[in-house]
A = this chain, B = another copy of it.
Amino acid sequence: LNRIKASGLKLRFCTNETQATRENFVKKLQGLGFDISVDEVTAPAPAACHILKERGLRPHLLVHEDLVPEFAEIDKANPNCVVIGDAAENFTYANLNEAFRVLIGMEKPVLISLGRGRYYKETDGLKLDVGAYMKALEYACDIQAEVVGKPAKMFFKSALAEMGVTPQEAIMIGDDIVNDVGGAQQCGMRAVQVRTGKYRSVHILHP
């Protein structure tokens, strides 16, 4: 990162992190020694807030409690949609049933998902990501979620616009073959997969 910054190349951090506000996400990376600030981060929650305001949607939130502050300015009374993020410990049986009941009670259920990741790795092992729970609600309600965040095209386009570059001028670097590499390629960017993080060799041949 330091070498990229020193070279004068433009840099942006595209994260599907929905377990924390951008502020906390940045603090964590700074603590690990990375040179990063909030205004360099593109993340799903602010993108979702933009959509909610634009369409007059009042969300029932099924998200990590540390992400809730990102939705502070959004009206959440009498919900007419569900926003799902990587809720982690908040993915309880009771919370999933509650989100389901909000959806099934609507004439046309609206489910906005802050990503469609399958799983990710933490120090104590692999964990189901938001995409798995999104699929559960999609199936139960017979609907399709609207995905904000990687690999949605809009997400990469926002990041490119924020940097003021074209897809051809940018390279995406990430560990997720679908969300990082696939999403960027769909958008006309080149992409590089790193062999760390969630990388597993079995996924090279059939992404």
Contact = CB atoms under 8 A, between A and B. Distances in A.
A204 to B, nearest CB: 14
Secondary structure call for the A interface: helix
Size category of the binding interface on chain A: 20 to 34
Interface string A118-143: 11000001111101110111111110
A131 B142 CA distance: 12
Contacts of A135: 135-136, 138-139
Contacts of A93: 88-89, 91-92, 128
B101 A125 contact: yes
A131 B126 contact: no
Contact of A129 (B88, B92, B138, B140): B140
A100 interface: yes
A97 interface: yes
Nearest to A137: B132
A104 interface: yes
B92 A118 contact: no
Nearest to A98: B125
Interface in A53-100: 88-89, 91-93, 96-97, 100
A107 to B, nearest CB: 8
B118 A128 contact: no
Contact of A97 (B97, B118, B128): B128
A131 B140 contact: yes
